[in-house]
Amino acid sequence: MGEEKLEELERALRNELSEDKLKFIDKYRLQLNSRRHWVCKKNQTPERVYFSHKFAMDNGILEFLFRKYQFCFAKLKYFRKNLDKFSFCKYHPEKGFYKTELWDAEFFCHKQSGTMIDFRYLQQIRQVEVFQGFIEWLEGLPASEDK
């Protein structure tokens, strides 16, 4: 498919997506390829497929994030059920942690305890039992004084 046709297709398909999904796509500079996959092309490296356009249409921002960080289904299932127990944050060296929207999040903040959970930490957990142990520990933490 020619470059011009691909750009035209990308514009048309972007119109099918919600504002939050577009913000996520723009944040990570994703582009549509000829197979209708949203991909990242960086620094002369092979393109990394994030998800298909069908996936983008059928899923929400939580699934976008979990696909980006390659989280397992057990994590997705837990956070789908318990997302209201968390706020969404980013970190800036000068500002510290600050709240943001889910599409822009890099950390979950456990509301009850105030514990910050880095997505990169969750990414390292490869065994369901380890994740379940982490959740037990997290949910057993006492309520934070400065909630």
- pLDDT-derived band of residue 45, with 50, 70 and 90 as boundaries? confident
Check residue 4 and give its pLDDT.
Answer: 86
Mean pLDDT computed over 42-47? 86
Give domain limits for the chain. 3-59, 71-139
- Mean pLDDT score of the chain: 94
CB 146 within 8 A of CB 113: no
pTM for the model: 0.88
Single-letter amino acid code for the residue at 87:
S
* DSSP string for 8-68: HHHHHHHTTS-HHHHHHHHHTTEEE-TTSEEEE--TTS--EEEEEHHHHHH--HHHHHHHH
Single-letter amino acid code for the residue at 103:
W
What's the sign of the alpha-carbon dihedral 74, 143, 91, 60?
Answer: positive
Mean pLDDT computed over 4-33? 94
Cα(123)–Cα(48) distance, rounded to whole angstroms? 17
Take residue 90 and report the two structure tokens written for it.
């980013």
- pLDDT-derived band of residue 2, with 50, 70 and 90 as boundaries? confident
Cα(44)–Cα(6) distance, rounded to whole angstroms? 20
Q: Summarize pLDDT for 102-123 with one digit per residue, the tens.
A: 999 999 999 999 999 999 999 9
Check residue 58 and give its pLDDT.
Answer: 98
Q: What percent of the chain has pLDDT over 90?
A: 86
Mean pLDDT computed over 26-30? 96
